[in-house]
Structure 1
Amino acid sequence: MLEESENKLINSRKMERAKIQQQLAKIHNNVKKLQHQLKDVKPTPDFVEKLREMMEEIENAINTFKEEQRLICNELIKEEKTTKNELSPISRKIDTWAVGNSETEKVFRAISSKVSVDKMTPNTLPTVVVDFEKFLQQTGGQQGGWDNYDHQNFIKVRNKHKGKPAFMKEALEHLPGRTQDEVQQHEKWYQKFLTLEERQKRVYSELEN
């Protein structure tokens, strides 16, 4: 299925390239004809009219070509945005799985050093670890569903103000694409994230001791 789609895309690109080359060749030939006519200028009304028609034809061909390419570019931009929107939740889910697996592995190693392998069960993991993993999976991973740029700016401003409410105003200035409500919701998410993360760290510490 994937190979078939790839072949269709390759063929489509080849056809589009051939069409573009054909259009450019036609424009080039018309320009050559015009240049040839200008070598032997005859200042007669018919000759001037002929030159005007040739120039108009070339200009129209160029404008048509530019408009077609503009529409193609706009369509590609739309497709790119659609693809990004479709891939974004998948990417976040994969990141969450990666984080979850990493965190689980740490706890598993710590527990396995204290509990024999034959006694290990899914329920062996501490509740706080399971809760933290569920929280990450349900809220978009380590960045709460935000992209890295926005989240890092949020953290930078928050740390600058040491988490005091006053940081909200400056955070909005550094996050032009975010509303006040979005920043407030992210702050609530981050507070819970820090709480769950701290609990998990304590579990690691207890298991390692």
Structure 2
Amino acid sequence: MNNYLKLLLYLKQFEGDGKMHPIEHLFPGLTLKEKKAIFNELVVERLIAMEGRETKYDSFIMEANLVTGKTKWTESPLNELNQRVKEDEFRAKITFRGSKYLKEELQMQNEDKYSINVSGTSTNNTFVIESRDVTINNRNNASYKLDEIIEILKKDDTINEEERTSIVGDFVQAKQAINQTGKLPERLMKSILEYGSQFSSIGNFIFSLFQS
């Protein structure tokens, strides 16, 4: 079980209690930086809500001499105390979206397959993938289709710029992976299929991509 599911499964038992629960202890073999990276990814995807380890800022005292016009900055004596105060550890709770994702992911892992709706302008297809990594037989054709998808995404005015950058980045990575190995890794595969379900402008293109 990967770290994402481990965390979500742990938080699932507290679902609905409205409380934040400590989560750092779940990963004793990881550094704080590595833990934070995992937690932040789940926050960005809105699978968990999180608090704790707020950034600490030093403060300074400004003294202005009205006669000379000079200004003096002195570090606040409270800074040392502020740095010595123990940080609250990260705490989190699972969201409704996270609970739904966990259920679907565990079901797919249990069946050893992935399934997702891919929506086009007039169709609604279900595409089932029964392996962890997808092999693309026709690399050139897949690369061409990915270029088409990227261009469509760049012109889709229903996507905000921040989201567009992230989505296009995934497709660029997918193109590189296919060109180099002929395979699409699990993470990118799932993301791309989800985009196909989310954005009607590329739904049919995504479906045809996996028929390459």
TM-score normalised by length of structure 2: 0.20
Question: Which has the higher Rg, Structure 1 or Structure 2?
Answer: 1
With a CA cutoff of 8 Å and minimum separation of 6, indicate the structure with the bigger relative contact order.
2
TM-score normalised by length of structure 1: 0.20
Q: Counting helix residues as a fraction of each chain, which structure ranks higher? A: 1
Q: Counting strand residues as a fraction of each chain, which structure ranks higher? A: 2
